[in-house]
Amino acid sequence: MARRKKIYEGKAKILYEGPEPGTLVQYFKDDATAFNAEKRATIDGKGVLNNRLSEFFMSGLNAIGVPTHFIRRLNMREQLIRSVEIIPLEVVIRNVAAGSISKRLGIEEGTALPRPIVEFYYKDDALGDPLVAEEHVIAFGWANQQDLDDMVALGLRVNDFLSGLMMGVGIKLVDFKIEIGRIWEGDYMRLIVADEISPDSCRLWDMKTGQKLDKDVFRRDLGDLADAYTEVAKRLGVLPDQGTMSGPTLVN
């Protein structure tokens, strides 16, 4: 088979040219990074879990009419996606204070917010992805007012969908990040959910024990990250019954 053309390599994923125009293949790596890539590790199985979990969330969103880039999963680590023009913003939706909002505003982690809060961060590693206001987004032309309204609406729909799914399996969706891209259909431009939705980009707390089941396990050295993600996948019924992601066993 001809070698595929690599389009882009990020911290946790690689994008390859897709089989048809307008498509890409998204490959999930086992690499984990935090604190703007100052902390790094390879976590066996993380890519496989995130591929499955992102498939589960995105295909569910597609099914309820929230458009995403997801087309279908190809194998353990790869999925076929629509190629989009990524808007250079991380859209963060928060239900409970944690992480940067707790630090910035002095709100104790775990405090329920009066309503979901949507924030925008400018995607720029060199600047450490700074929080920006809608004024900046419009003034610098990253998106216009209509796009902003659409991004907030998309973010809130994703929030309702994910919160409900998680609540059903005893997990609190504290906050999450999505990325949004533009696609053109004839003369029309639409915004769709892109990138990934996985425990790498969410905060997920067990509703009874408060146990963290997301990337904070890695950021804060709280245990085995793959175990935490496996727990999320098992609860959601995303993993096969035995819950293991090991390969075939050699029979002598």
How many angstroms from the chain centroid is the CA of residue 242? Answer: 25
Report the residue from 52, 73, 177, 212 that binds ligand UDP according to the rule CB under 6 A: 177
Among 100, 142, 160, 206, binds ligand UDP (CB under 6 A): 100
Angle ∠(98,100,103) on CA atoms, nearest 5: 85
Contact with ligand UDP (CB under 6 A) among 88, 99, 134, 138: 99
Single out the residue of 175, 179, 195, 196 in contact with ligand UDP (rule: CB under 6 A).
175
- Which position has the token pair 């775990």? 110
Residue among 92, 96, 143, 180 that touches ligand UDP (CB under 6 A): 92
Is 116 a residue that touches ligand UDP (CB under 6 A)? no
- The amino acid at residue 134 is E
Q: Which of residues 208-237 bind ligand UDP (CB under 6 A)?
A: 215
CA distances from 162 to 83, 89, 211 (A): 24, 20, 18
| Range 126-155, binding ligand UDP (CB under 6 A) | 129
Q: Which is nearer to ligand UDP, 73 or 94 (CB)?
A: 94
Binding of ligand UDP at residue 203 (CB under 6 A)? yes
Place of tokens 């961060």: 121
**How many chain residues interact with ligand UDP (CB under 6 A)?**
14
Q: Is 133 exposed, middle or buried (0-12, 13-18, 19+ CB in 10 A)?
A: exposed
Shortest distance in whole angstroms from residue 119 CB to ligand UDP: 7
Q: Taking contact as CB under 6 A, which single stretch among the options 1-9, 16-24, 72-80, 98-106 is the one that binds ligand UDP?
A: 98-106
| Residue whose C-alpha is closest to residue 34's, from 229, 217, 231 | 217
Q: Does 77 bind ligand UDP (CB under 6 A)?
A: no
Minimum gap (Å) between residue 127 Cβ and ligand UDP:
12
- Structure tokens belonging to residue 79: 């999925």
* Tokens coding 99: 């992480």
The mark string for 15-54 relative to ligand UDP (x by CB under 6 A, - otherwise) is ----------------------------------------
- Cβ-Cβ contacts under 8 Å for 16 (sequence gap 6 or more): 4, 5, 6, 7, 24, 25, 27
Rounded CA-CA distance 49/62 in Å is 20
Residues forming the site for ligand UDP (CB under 6 A) = 90, 92, 98-101, 129, 175-177, 201-203, 215
